[in-house]
Amino acid sequence: MNKKIFAVFALLVVVGVVVGCAAPASPTAPPAAATQAPATKPPATAAPAATTAPTSAPVATSKPAAPGVVKIVYWRALSGAPGDAQEEIAKRFNASQKEVEVEVQYQGTYPELQRKLQAALAARVTPDVVMFDSPQMPYFAKNGALAPLDDFAKGADSVDLKNYIPGLLADGYFDGKLYALPFARSTPILYYNRDMFKEVGLPDRAPETWDEFADFCKKLTKKEGAETKRVGYAVQMGTTTAHWYFQELLYAYGNDVSDDKFKVLIDQPEGVAAAKFLQDLITQGIAIPGTGPDGAQGEFTNQRSGLHFGSTGSLVNIVTTSKFKVGVGFMPAAKRRQVPIGGSVLSVMAASPKEKQAAAWKFIKYMTNTESNVYFVQKTGYMPISTTAVNSQEMKDFMAKNPEFKVAVDQLQFVRPQASIISVPEGTEIFRQLVEKLTVGKVDPATAMKEAAAALTKAYNETFK
């Protein structure tokens, strides 16, 4: 008997050692992955290095609230200027009224926040308001984690939804119901190296169309023997970037990527044509896959490419790290000009009791009102989200001082949400592998698009349907 117990103990200890050795991988793991995130939609100030904390999820509302005050917890992402600006707006909100007190808790990058939210939902200890990278929201809404906001929008604390810029409000909807309000929104814009343009005799403006883009790329490319010294464009390859820019190309070519019933359309002729266009840029040697720690942006700031797509949120960073004059312009058009919107939205958790949900609504209404939005935009470079914000005097003054920023705001008329299929959890990864197949793998465009469409449909059926 004793021997048996002893043996079991010994075995467990051995297992423990084996597993224990395994343990170090997991705590270091998620932060490392998350370092890739800031490169894209959030502004570059979201420092990629600040990552090493293990993923614990502090939820508890600590201080006891004064009687009658509803305490709510807001989980935010984004560090640096966009983080500080959120803290400031929350402080103003708390000072502006006496019914609701919000506590802001920083949870890291978008993917980190999402992982913690997953854990919090499993543990059933959730915050009241959360920030989502916009395409991630529908999956949580679909799984019942988020509270529909339509009744709040019409209720005592009503808000004029028409005031939000339509392309920005649109991806707050899932299945006909409103689940999120737009907050820190960004769009891709085209950056170009003005010095380099001058050197090769190009006009001081961004290319209007994708065809012109290809011409510009040709002129910018410089070869010395077999070695390519410079190309027109470095393609975004990252796990959180590839899908965003490729969608714009597909949209421009007249392909809708997927419809609102999640039917995948990328393998249609326009989609294949767009894919072929991208591949041809690589084959002709006038574009390269962007590598290195800063990916495509590094190639651009190191003057190894002359044209670059980047988030409006990277504006300040690109202008300050470049040793040359930077110009900005609209994303190129083909059959049409349509730009997929990025950045984050605010949602209310379904698990919160009714009075906290109502308080949470008050808070996100405040976060997205004209005054808060104008403040946030000026501090961070994110997009204004409402017509009143765009038309406000402060915003006009701000744009007069920052002409590059004005380009991004003018481009807002062309924005539309990212394709529905991006919200399928595997969506971004499948798109990224598609871009890899086209640029690195030299896979035939029709085949690559067909395989990706099949993979997306399968992923949708398995995890989203």
Partner 1 sequence: MGSQIRLPNQSWVPGLNILRLTHSRRERLTFLALIAPNFILFGIFTFWPLIYNFYLSFTKWNMIAPTPTLIGLDNYATMIADPIFWKVLGNTLYLATGSIAIRLVLALALALVLNQKLAGRDIYRAIIFSPTFTTGAAVALVWTWILHKDLGLLRLPLNLLGIVSPNWLTDINWTIPALIIVTVWRGLGYDMVIFLAGLQGIPAELYEAARVDGAGRWSLFRHITLPMLSPITFFLIVTSIIGALQVFDLVAVMTGGGPMNSSKVYVYYVYENAFKFFKVGYAAALSMVLFLITLAITIFQTRLSRRWVHY
Chain positions contacting partner 1, by CB under 8 A = 2, 6, 9, 12-13, 15-16, 18-25, 28-33, 35-36, 49, 51-52, 111, 114-115, 118-119, 121-122, 124, 139-140, 143-145, 227, 237-239, 289, 291-293, 302, 304, 425-426, 428-429, 432-433, 436-437, 440-441, 459, 463
Tell me the closest approach of the beta carbon of residue 254 to partner 1, in angstroms.
28
Tokens of 443: 């896979």
Nearer to partner 1, 172 or 295 (CB): 295
Tell me the closest approach of the beta carbon of residue 142 to partner 1, in angstroms.
9
Residues 6 or more apart whose CB falls under 8 angstroms from that of 54 comprise: 27, 31
Tell me the closest approach of the beta carbon of residue 184 to partner 1, in angstroms.
21
Nearer to partner 1, 52 or 461 (CB): 52
**Reduced 3-state DSSP string for 237-255:** CCCCCHHHHHHHHHHHCCC
Nearer to partner 1, 116 or 365 (CB): 116
Nearer to partner 1, 240 or 386 (CB): 240
Tell me the closest approach of the beta carbon of residue 29 to partner 1, in angstroms.
5
Tell me the closest approach of the beta carbon of residue 80 to partner 1, in angstroms.
18
Tell me the closest approach of the beta carbon of residue 27 to partner 1, in angstroms.
10
Nearer to partner 1, 90 or 345 (CB): 345
Tokens 């796990």 — which residue?
239
Nearer to partner 1, 108 or 207 (CB): 108
Nearer to partner 1, 142 or 416 (CB): 142
Nearer to partner 1, 144 or 269 (CB): 144
Nearer to partner 1, 46 or 70 (CB): 46
Tell me the closest approach of the beta carbon of residue 288 to partner 1, in angstroms.
9
Tell me the closest approach of the beta carbon of residue 282 to partner 1, in angstroms.
11
Tell me the closest approach of the beta carbon of residue 74 to partner 1, in angstroms.
19
Tell me the closest approach of the beta carbon of residue 335 to partner 1, in angstroms.
29
Nearer to partner 1, 76 or 432 (CB): 432
CA distances from 175 to 164, 262, 419, 425, 463 (A): 19, 11, 14, 17, 16
330, 244 in Cβ contact below 8 A? Answer: no
